[in-house]
Amino acid sequence: MALQFSPSTEAKFQDLLKRYPTRAGALIPTLHLAQDEFGGWISPETEQYVAQKLNLPLTHVREVVSFYTMFNREKTGKYHLQLCTNLSCTLVGSDVILQKIREHLGIGPGETTKDGLFTLTEVQCLASCGTGPVMQVNKDYHECLNPERLTALLDKLAADGKKNA
Ligand code: FES
């Protein structure tokens, strides 16, 4: 079935168009809407849909999607764990957090748990270097992580995820 924004997302899209002088200017916020609407990632079909909505060349949309790491080019788990492993976070223990995630969930960077709940991605600086180690879970930041806080967070997410499955 062809992709289509829900009525509420379409309303947000129309509102976006009023705020930008050109349709091209609305590309990044439209991609965010599309990612949220269509399963948390930008598929080739979604790229086409957005290109059509904004009357832009598909190649332009694809370039933007592939440039920004905030757009997922593959389907992710229900919870997308984006752990910063850049220098500041590593100095305060993101390597320990990464190891703990491996042990607790059995996945490494680029992998998704078998139950589809968690995908882990290593990212470079979430612009919160003073509160590392930092991990973004979907749209929320979790800062000053240590193994205990991480484990509690993952267990809570797993319980919530199974409850709302
Ligand atoms: S180095 Fe981790 S948030 Fe900047």
Delimit the domains of the chain by residue range.
7-67, 79-163
pLDDT score at 69: 85
Run of H or E including 149: helix 147-163
Q: What is the pTM of this model?
A: 0.85
Beta strand pairing status for 118-123 and 135-137?
unpaired
pLDDT digits (tens, 9 = 90+) for 54-111: 999 999 999 999 999 889 999 999 999 999 999 999 999 999 999 999 999 999 999 9
**DSSP letter, residue 112:** B
136 - beta bridge partners?
82, 141
7-67 carries CATH number 1.10.10: yes
Distance 126 CA to ligand 1 centre (A): 5
By CB atoms closer than 10 A (0-12, 13-18, 19+), residue 127 is exposed
At residue 1, does pLDDT exceed 70? no
Binding-site residues, ligand 1, Cβ < 6 A: 84, 86-89, 125-129, 132, 134
Q: What is the pLDDT of residues 101-154, one digit of tens each?
A: 999 999 999 999 999 999 999 999 999 999 999 999 999 999 999 999 999 999
What CATH class is the domain 79-163? alpha beta
pLDDT of residue 157: 97
Tell me which of 69, 83, 84 to substitute to probe ligand 1's pocket, judged by most ligand atoms within 8 Å of the beta carbon: 84
| Three-state DSSP class for residue 118 | strand
Atom of ligand 1 nearest to the CA of 88: 1
Distance 78 CA to ligand 1 centre (A): 24
